[in-house]
Amino acid sequence: MMTNEQKTNIPGMDKLLGTLKGHRSIRRYTDDPVTTEQLDHILNSAQMASSSSHTYSPFLKFGDNTDR
Protein backbone atom coordinates (compact mmCIF):
# COMPACT_ATOMS: atom_id res chain seq x y z
CA MET A 1 0.00 0.00 0.00
CA MET A 2 1.28 3.45 -0.89
CA THR A 3 1.83 6.09 1.74
CA ASN A 4 0.35 9.57 1.29
CA GLU A 5 3.84 10.87 0.53
CA GLN A 6 4.30 8.28 -2.22
CA LYS A 7 0.90 9.16 -3.69
CA THR A 8 1.79 12.84 -3.96
CA ASN A 9 5.18 12.14 -5.58
CA ILE A 10 3.77 10.40 -8.66
CA PRO A 11 4.97 12.30 -11.76
CA GLY A 12 2.16 14.29 -13.35
CA MET A 13 -0.22 13.73 -10.42
CA ASP A 14 -0.56 17.44 -9.65
CA LYS A 15 -1.53 18.18 -13.24
CA LEU A 16 -4.02 15.29 -13.30
CA LEU A 17 -5.62 16.30 -10.01
CA GLY A 18 -5.83 19.92 -11.15
CA THR A 19 -7.60 18.83 -14.32
CA LEU A 20 -10.04 16.61 -12.44
CA LYS A 21 -10.80 19.24 -9.80
CA GLY A 22 -11.21 21.96 -12.42
CA HIS A 23 -13.69 20.02 -14.57
CA ARG A 24 -16.82 21.91 -15.50
CA SER A 25 -19.65 20.86 -17.77
CA ILE A 26 -20.28 23.78 -20.08
CA ARG A 27 -22.70 23.45 -22.93
CA ARG A 28 -21.90 26.15 -25.42
CA TYR A 29 -22.17 24.91 -28.96
CA THR A 30 -20.98 26.34 -32.24
CA ASP A 31 -21.86 25.64 -35.85
CA ASP A 32 -18.29 24.47 -36.53
CA PRO A 33 -18.22 20.92 -37.90
CA VAL A 34 -16.41 18.16 -36.03
CA THR A 35 -13.68 16.60 -38.15
CA THR A 36 -13.26 12.86 -38.50
CA GLU A 37 -9.91 13.14 -36.73
CA GLN A 38 -11.51 14.97 -33.77
CA LEU A 39 -14.31 12.42 -33.59
CA ASP A 40 -11.83 9.52 -33.65
CA HIS A 41 -9.87 11.14 -30.81
CA ILE A 42 -13.03 11.65 -28.73
CA LEU A 43 -14.23 8.08 -29.29
CA ASN A 44 -10.83 6.56 -28.50
CA SER A 45 -10.69 8.57 -25.27
CA ALA A 46 -14.22 7.54 -24.33
CA GLN A 47 -13.38 3.88 -24.86
CA MET A 48 -10.50 4.20 -22.39
CA ALA A 49 -12.61 5.88 -19.70
CA SER A 50 -13.79 3.88 -16.73
CA SER A 51 -17.43 3.39 -15.90
CA SER A 52 -19.40 2.56 -12.80
CA SER A 53 -19.63 -1.18 -12.13
CA HIS A 54 -18.04 -1.87 -15.53
CA THR A 55 -21.26 -0.93 -17.30
CA TYR A 56 -20.51 0.22 -20.80
CA SER A 57 -23.11 1.41 -23.24
CA PRO A 58 -22.77 -0.58 -26.46
CA PHE A 59 -24.85 1.95 -28.40
CA LEU A 60 -23.49 5.05 -30.10
CA LYS A 61 -25.56 7.13 -32.47
CA PHE A 62 -24.07 9.54 -34.97
CA GLY A 63 -25.73 11.67 -37.53
CA ASP A 64 -25.25 14.59 -39.77
CA ASN A 65 -27.43 17.40 -38.50
CA THR A 66 -26.41 19.92 -41.12
CA ASP A 67 -29.97 20.03 -42.45
CA ARG A 68 -31.20 21.91 -39.37
pLDDT tens per residue, range 10-27: 788 888 888 888 878 878
pLDDT at 33 over 80: yes
Question: Which ranges of 9-59 would DSSP assign to H, the alpha helix?
Answer: 13-21, 36-48
- Nearest alpha-carbon partner for 33 in 1, 64, 68, 4: 64
Q: What is the pLDDT of residue 17?
A: 86
Position 6 pLDDT exceeds 70? no
Q: CA distances (Å), 60 to each of 17, 35, 56, in order?
A: 29, 17, 11
Nearest to 5 by CA among 13, 18, 20, 21: 13
Give pLDDT, residue 26.
78
Question: What is the distance between the alpha carbons of residues 59 and 38, in angstroms, rounded to a whole number?
Answer: 19
pLDDT reported for residue 65: 64
